[in-house]
Amino acid sequence: MIVAENLRVEFRRRLFAPKLQALIGLNLDVRDGDFFALVGQNGAGKSTAMYCMLGLLAPTSGKIEVMGRTPDLGAPANEQVAYLPEEPHYHLYLTVEEATRYYSTLYGRRVPESTISDVLDRLGLGPFRSLRLSKCSKGMKQKVGIAQCLIHETRLLFLDEPTRGLDPLVVREFREALREIHKRGTTVVMNSHVLSEIEMLANRVAIIDAGRVVLQDDLQNLLTLDKESYGVTFTPVGDVPSFITSVERVGDLVRGSVPKERLYDFMEYSRTAGATVQECSLKRSSLEDSFFKVVNEGRATA
Partner 1 sequence: MSAASTALPNRGLIPVQTPAAAVPPANAFFVILRANFVADVKFLRRSRLIMAFVLVFLVITVLSLLPSAFGQSEFKSFGTMEQIYGELRLFLAILAGGMGLFLVSFHQRDRSLKMVFTKPCTPANWLLAAMLSASFVSFVLNVVICAVMVGLSYGWHLAVRPGLMFLACESVIVDIIVISTMTLLASLVHPAVAATVAILFNGNLFYSFLQWSLQTIAEGNKTLKMRALEHFFHALYMIIPMYSPFGKHIDSVDGSYRVEHGQWKYLAFSLGYALTFALVAYLVALLSLRRKRHI
When the beta carbons of 154 and 229 are compared against partner 1, the nearer one is 154
When the beta carbons of 35 and 174 are compared against partner 1, the nearer one is 174
Dihedral angle over CA of 92, 96, 100, 106, nearest 10: -30
Shortest spacing between CB 251 and partner 1, in angstroms: 38
Could you give the CA distance from residue 219 to residue 286 in angstroms, rounded to a whole number? 10
Shortest spacing between CB 103 and partner 1, in angstroms: 6
When the beta carbons of 102 and 243 are compared against partner 1, the nearer one is 102
Shortest spacing between CB 7 and partner 1, in angstroms: 15
Shortest spacing between CB 241 and partner 1, in angstroms: 51
N- to C-terminal Cα separation, the chain: 30
Could you give the CA distance from residue 285 to residue 227 in angstroms, rounded to a whole number? 9
When the beta carbons of 124 and 259 are compared against partner 1, the nearer one is 124
Could you give the CA distance from residue 16 to residue 165 in angstroms, rounded to a whole number? 36
Q: Which amino acid is at 272?
A: T
When the beta carbons of 84 and 214 are compared against partner 1, the nearer one is 84
Q: Which amino acid is at 52?
A: C
Shortest spacing between CB 56 and partner 1, in angstroms: 5
Could you give the CA distance from residue 141 to residue 132 in angstroms, rounded to a whole number? 10
Burial class (CB in 10 A: 0-12, 13-18, 19+), 145: buried
Residue 16 CB partners (closer than 8 Å, separation 6+): none
When the beta carbons of 12 and 284 are compared against partner 1, the nearer one is 12
Shortest spacing between CB 25 and partner 1, in angstroms: 20
